[in-house]
Each structure stands twice: as structure tokens, then as C-alpha cells.
Chains A and B, each alone.
Chain A
């Protein structure tokens, strides 16, 4: 049976009326890009990791350079300057917006429109870090981050940059084998996704909960409640098409 998805019907409410952590950017071609801005806590953790790494570099560096006398002092000053002012900038621009801390926490820095961060924006946001630190211990940065809808600190506001979660590669979910069935009614994209999700997330759900969920659709499917789960799996299999 050839796989022919039903025409999509938009029944879900307009995105944006509900509170959500997603941030939509529409490209000139009319493509909706979805980004997920990262909030204060995960960013604070990433910063703490970076801070520790920088502390380690400086500590080890100064210890080694202290053996070199005056030359070591000069090189130490240069190293301090580089680590203090260029660590974030160099990593962000040359490593796809990821400093080691951000990389570990699954974050990256992009421009507001989702393009990769450039020199100007990266320098701005990292030089203006000193405004965020004011009056002490990042107080302004914290407040700005909490109050801004896309979790921007003041440096981000000035530079037009955004810290987002990186998209991870999708894993192929385990699927329930069932004979494909064409849905007896047209389904919107969202509803198709929910049906697939029901089939894909079987492992996370208890049997009773699966029954309960499937029973919701028993009446429109015109099957008894105990057969609804199997019926839904078959429809999901039909939506997926031949593997």
C-alpha cells in the first residue's frame, strides 16, 4: 500500500498564545526557524565551568612562567590579557559559538536571527560582560537574564546575540511492529506527530496509562476501548510508512 499522508489540517491554537520556551525566527524565504534560548541557570553552570578552566590555565601558566623571571612576568601579563579578554571570543567565533563550558552544557551562541556569531557581536558581548558584573557578582546580568523573554544578559542585548540549546542528533526510536492501517479520518500534522509519539514512547509509559490514552480515541475510531491501543499502533505504523 503506498503511503499517502492525509492533508494536514490546522487545529492547534496559534503558536505564541501559549507560554513557551521556543523562539521563532522567520527567514525571508518564509521558513520558520525554531530556537530554544537557554536560561540563567544552565548558562551560569556553563560559565562556572569556563571560569574553572580559565583559573586552571592561569594557575598552571603562572607557576611555570614564574620560573623564568622577568621574561616570565612579561609573558604572564600577555597570557593574563589573552585568557581574560580573548578566551570567550576566540572559542565562540572559531568553535561555532561554543566555549568549553557551553559545549559541555549543550549550548551555543548565535546571532538573534540564528546565524553563527561573528567577531563584532562576540567582542561586544564579552567586553560588555563588565556591565553585567556591576555592581557586584553579576547582579545586573542576573536580573537582565531573568527579566528578558529570551534570557539575554545586557551584553547579549547590546550585541544582538542569543545563547541557545544545540540541537542534538535524533535517535531512531524503537517502534511497535503492527500491520499498517490508513487513518479513517484526516489528521493534522500535530495529530500525526502525537500518534507517532504514542507509538514511539510506549516504553516510557505504563500499560494502564497507554490504555487510558488510547481509550480517548476509541469512540472516533469506532472500536472497543481495549482494542484502541492496537488500532493506534497500526495507524502510526501506516503514517510512518515502510521502513
Chain B
């Protein structure tokens, strides 16, 4: 055993921390411990089950009794691994029969119920003590660690049972519903019915599985507790540092002596570089290496440039020069699994039931209960009101955003160019009215027609006309409707209306018929049909 090879940080710890270190140690060699444990326990379990098929309880009791024999394997693996000599599963399992020999009967009988089992195991297995020497050693070691070792075993029993119960509950939860309804609990409990033997053996197998997880951890915790006790008792940490210090100091001395000797030996050879070929350039830069910076140099000493470069790279690859980070995120899978339903805590109802009986016995304080209930409800309402009042501004902003955006109501002008375009102001039959007016008052007639056109554009075609539009712009908007007849009609009417309104040029009589017919065709076909 060489302390300098230890793969854990050696320093005195509190007992609980020593146990935590055991968990970490077991976790580091998780796969090895789990596999090797299963390799030795599963055959034994299968054998016991096959032989004692009719007595599942007896078979699991025997398996439980054999635990100290199995425990020796994890301890062997961990004691090897602690000093960097990690065995393979095969090597570990091969070593197991040899580990079984010493004191097996004692371990399986009167020491089986010892509460400091895992703490005592290293004394027997690693120190090889027996009889008187072992007891004395245990007394010395146990001075400060017996309490923690006992707690380790007691809590270990609870962890084991919790994991077994958890596994059974998980198994039950994962059963399909129709299978559960088929189960008759009467026959399950009835010992005469033999068809449930397999279920008992299944729960035994669950125990074996739980042990494969927990028992190596238990052994590892006992082992680290033992190591910690020896660390404090023998100051291993101080020994370790002293050894390193000595190595450093004497090592430096050796290097100095060697270096000086080498220097002395080399001195007479004056022309080290004379036989090296000169580079081609006539005036080489002094610090430029003739063979190039990437070539191997310093080949004649223990630390070559290649080794140095490798070590530099290694250091540069670690923090704080290089900080690697693995980021793991959740994302949606193919099908989202449904979350397991939470168990209802039934303690509430039991509580309520128990208390209901008490109410009947005691009715005198009923009104107090009512008062308290009113007060409590009042407090809840006041709290809600207070919250609403406190966050009223925030609420108004939030609800303002929530409501649907209001539809902008389009404002339809009732006057354009000083003309009344409200539909009510127009006569029922515009074309006839225009024909009637045309002879005596052509201005009114044309004005009426143009007014009626604007009104129709506004209300039938929903053209967004505004008071600021000019006649030309209205014409352009009508063109955009891509209604050929309408645009032609508008064009003609607008031109003549402008001529009349601004230029005082009376429209020709021939226009009367064309415009009235056009109007009827455009706007009154629907009415006549």
C-alpha cells in the first residue's frame, strides 16, 4: 500500500463525511461493483429459489444470511481500486473464492447481526486479524466510529426497505388496469393457493436487485469510515505530505548533483555546434533555430522538448485555460408521456372523520366556529380585494391589451365639394328627375347626377372618399376599381360637370340620353329586375 497512489483525497474528516466519501467511491466504480455483485449473487439466488421453490420466505432468508460472504467482494474491489489498481469484473469474481476462506462461519453466524458489520470487515479481511488481536484492534478503531458505523447499518436497513417498497410500488403502478381488477386479494393472501408463489419469488428478485445497488455502497461506506479512522489515528495526511516533501527536497538535490556532474563532463567538449551544418543564409538571425521550432530538440536529456510540449498542452487543456462545459437541455420527444398522477393524501379525510365525531359531542362552541369561518372568509375576500387594488394599474393595462381591437368605423362624409351626398337627399328615380330638369335647369340636372354618382360610389362601392378629394382624384379612385362601364361613365360625367360648374359651358342636349341610359344601366338594373 502506498499512500501516494491513493485515488481519494486523504485528510481527517468527520464520520458523516467519511460515509459520504464511501458513496462517492462506490459511485466511481458503479458498473464494476454492480456487475461483479450480480455475477456472484444471481447464481446463488437462482439456486436457492430452485431448491426452495415451495418456501420463498426461507429462500430469501438464506440469501439475506449470506450477505457477509458477498460483501467481501466489493471490499476487495474497492481496496484494490483505492490505490489505482482497478480490477476487471472477471479478475474480481475470480478472486472471490479465495476471499471466502477466513472466518466465514463466524461471519455468517454470530457476527451476522453485528451493527458495525461493514466497519469491522476491513479489519478481518485487509488486516487479516483474528481472535484476540481482532477484538483489541476493533476496540481501538471503534473508539470514535462505533456510533457512526451503527447508524450506517440502521439507516442502511431503512434504505433497503424503502427501495424494496419503492420498487414494488413502481411495479404495481405500472401494471395494466384490467390485470389489477382480475386480482382477487383473498386468493393472494390465502396460503393454500399456490399460484402466487411466483409473485413472492418476483419480490425476492426485487430484493436481490436492490441489494446489488445498495450493498456495495454500504460496504464502501464502512470501508471509508475505517480509512478515516485510521487516517486520524495514524495521521496519514501528514505522512503523505511529508513523503511528498521529502521526495521534492531529495529529488532536487539529486538533480542538482547530476546536473553539476553533467556540466563538468561536458566542459572539455568546447565545440558543441561546430559540426552542425550551417544554414544557407550568410547571416542567420541569431535566435532563429536552424532546424525549425517544431522539430524535436533536447533529445539527450530526460525531459525532451516533445515531452515538455505534451505536458504544456495537457496543462493548457485544463482550467483555467480551457473551460469545457456540457449543456444538457430537455426538448419535446415524439410522444409526450403523461405525468404520473399524484397520490391523494388520504390523511385529510381520516382527520376530518375523526374530528366530525368530536363536533357531535361538543356543540357549545359552534357559534365561535361560525364567527371564525366568517372572519377567515372575510380575510380571503379582503386579501383578494387588496391585491386587485394594489395592482389596479397593472390590471387595467393588462386587461386593456386583452380585449379585442375595436373596428375602426369609417366616417362617411355627407358633403363633397359643397354637394350633399347623403342618400336621403336624392330622389327615388335619379334618371327620371334628371330628364325632367334637363330642359329648364341643366345645371341642377347635371349637379344632381354627379351628386348621385358620388353618393353611390360612397355607399355602394365603399370608395373611401374624403372631403379633401378633388374630382380628378375621385376619377382616379374609380379607375382603380377596374369597372370599365363605371369608369367611362364617371369620366364623361366628370368632364361635363367640370365644364359646367367651373367653365359655365352648358352640356349638349345629346348628352342627356346617353347619361340617363348609362345611369339606369349601371345603378338601376338591379332595382328594375
**Binding between chains A and B:** yes
- Check: A217 CB closer than 8 A to any chain B CB: yes
| Bound CA–CA A143/B23 (angstroms) | 11
Please, how many angstroms separate the alpha-carbon atoms of A39 and B361 in the complex?
49
Q: Is the interface of A mostly helix, strand, loop or mixed?
A: helix
Is the CB of A227 closer than 8 A to any CB of chain B? no
Q: Are B365 and A142 in contact (CB under 8 A)?
A: no
- A32-72, CB < 8 A from B: 36-42, 44-45, 62, 66-72
B28 touches A21 (CB 8 A): no
B483 to chain A, nearest CB (A): 66
When the two chains form their complex, are residues A72 and B234 in contact, meaning their CB atoms are under 8 A apart?
A: no
A87 CB within 8 Å of chain B? no
Q: For A138, give the chain B residue with the smallest CB separation.
A: B162
Picked from B20, B233, B250, the residue with its CB within 8 Å of the CB of A151 is: B20
Q: Is the CB of A201 within 8 A of B235?
A: yes
- Within the assembled complex, what's the spacing in Å between the Cα atoms of A184 and B417? 111
B-contact bits for A179-206, CB 8 A (1 contact / 0 none):
0000001010011011001100100110
How far, in whole Å, are A38 and B151 apart by their CA atoms in the complex?
15
Let me know if B136 is at the binding interface, CB within 8 A: no
Complex Cα spacing A150 to B318, Å: 22
**A135 sits at the interface (CB 8 A):** yes
Inter-chain contacts of B217 with A (CB < 8 A): 146
Instruction: With CB as the reference atom, state the residue of chain A lying closest to B243.
Output: A216
Q: How many angstroms between the C-alpha atoms of A14 and B246 in the bound complex? A: 19
Cβ distance A102 to chain B, nearest Cβ, rounded Å: 12
Residues 206-238 of A, flagged 1 when their CB comes within 8 A of B and 0 if not, give 000100010011011000000000000000000
Partner of A21, one of B20, B221, B242, B318: B20
CB of A76 within 8 A of CB of B351, answer yes
Chain B, range 229-265, C-beta contacts under 8 Å to A: 232-235, 237-239, 241-246, 248-250
Contact B235 A139 (CB under 8 A): no
A130 to B167, CA, bound (A): 17
Contacts of A12 in B (CB 8 A): 241, 244
Within 8 A of A (CB), among B164-181: 165-170, 173
Any chain A CB within 8 A of the CB of B19? yes
Known: A70-B359, A139-B166, A197-B237. A11 touches B248 (CB 8 A): yes
- A19 contacts partner chain B, Cβ-Cβ < 8 Å: yes
**Complex CA–CA separation, A139 to B171 (angstroms):** 13
Given A71-B372, A73-B355, A142-B163, 9 additional A-B pairs, CB 8 A: A41-B221, A68-B362, A76-B355, A135-B169, A138-B162, A151-B20, A151-B23, A204-B235, A205-B233
Binding site for A on B (CB under 8 A): 6-9, 13-14, 16-17, 19-21, 23-25, 27-28, 151-152, 155, 158-159, 161-163, 165-170, 173, 213, 217, 221, 232-235, 237-239, 241-246, 248-250, 318, 340, 342, 348, 351-352, 355-356, 358-359, 361-366, 368-369, 372-373, 376
